[in-house]
Structure 1
Amino acid sequence: MSQDATADLIRALIENMRGAGEGWASFAMVIDLAGGRISGTHGYAYAPDGTSAAVASRPSGVKPALDAYLESTYRPEQEPPIKILVQFERASGTYEVTFEDDDSARWKVTPANIDRMAEELRPAFG
């Protein structure tokens, strides 16, 4: 996997992110895919004081970097994931990318889990 493709994906998520404000310290963004194509994004940005804000990145702005990332990570004959979770910490540049291949409900925000999902997705690099 190309580190540059990962950095480009993170950069695209940040540049197209709405709802975070200027002083965010970290974020967790879920990229939803349908047939290998981006169908939406959602997540949270976390302020230095620990508070969170719901965010999303414009799919059309993320698409070129996501396509390059998937090409660098998956062989053409491989089925792409259905979701990707990107977690990033601004100060250290630390990141983690997690793939979901089967469970379409994973990381989905619903009325039943809305109060805990921000904490569930919060980056915790150890």
Structure 2
Amino acid sequence: MSEDVTVDLLHALVDHMNGPDMDGEGWASMAMILEFPDGLFNEAHGFLYSPDGTISPVAAGTHAVKPAVSAYTSSYFAAGEALPVQMLVQLDRTKGKYVVTFEDTDATRWKMTPRNRNEFHATLRPTFD
């Protein structure tokens, strides 16, 4: 996998994310869930974490980030190979670190529910040493 496609994916998500209370300049880290129901990318949503403790819900425009998502998955998965059902992209821009985690089968792994709604955003927060 090329480092360029990962950088392009991160830039696409950051450049195209938006939210009702988004602090576009002051955030420190991000967690974005990319959804692939039936093997097709259709959604990118998550949270921004600011140094003051503010957590803002965000989403990235599907059509705007799709080329970068496709390039990333094409560099990681062979042609004809099944894509994951979800990907979690975590970025800490203050530390310059990121990780991409794949979920191959459980489409509910990173879903907010009434039962987990109070701690859901905390479980996604990037933690790098």
TM-score w.r.t. length of structure 1: 0.95
Paired letter, 1:29: M
Structure 2: how far apart are the matches of 1:53 and 1:106? 20
Select 2:93's aligned residue among 83, 86, 90.
90
Counterpart for residue 75 of structure 2 = 72
Per the TM alignment, residue 34 of structure 1 is displaced from its structure 2 partner at its CA by 2.2
Paired letter, 2:89: V
Counterpart for residue 119 of structure 1 = 122
Runs ≥4 residues deviating over 6 A: none
Q: Unaligned stretches of 5+ in structure 2?
A: none
Counterpart for residue 7 of structure 1 = 7
Per the TM alignment, residue 8 of structure 1 is displaced from its structure 2 partner at its CA by 0.3
Structure 2: how far apart are the matches of 1:83 and 1:39? 10
Q: Unaligned stretches of 5+ in structure 1?
A: none
CA-to-aligned-CA distance 1:77-105 (integer Å, 9 cap, x gap): 31110100000011222000000000010
Counterpart for residue 51 of structure 2 = 48
Per the TM alignment, residue 41 of structure 1 is displaced from its structure 2 partner at its CA by 1.6
Per the TM alignment, residue 6 of structure 1 is displaced from its structure 2 partner at its CA by 0.6
CA-to-aligned-CA distance 1:51-110 (integer Å, 9 cap, x gap): 211111111111000000011101003111010000001122200000000001011112
Identity level (%): 45
Q: What is the count of residue pairs matched by the alignment?
A: 126
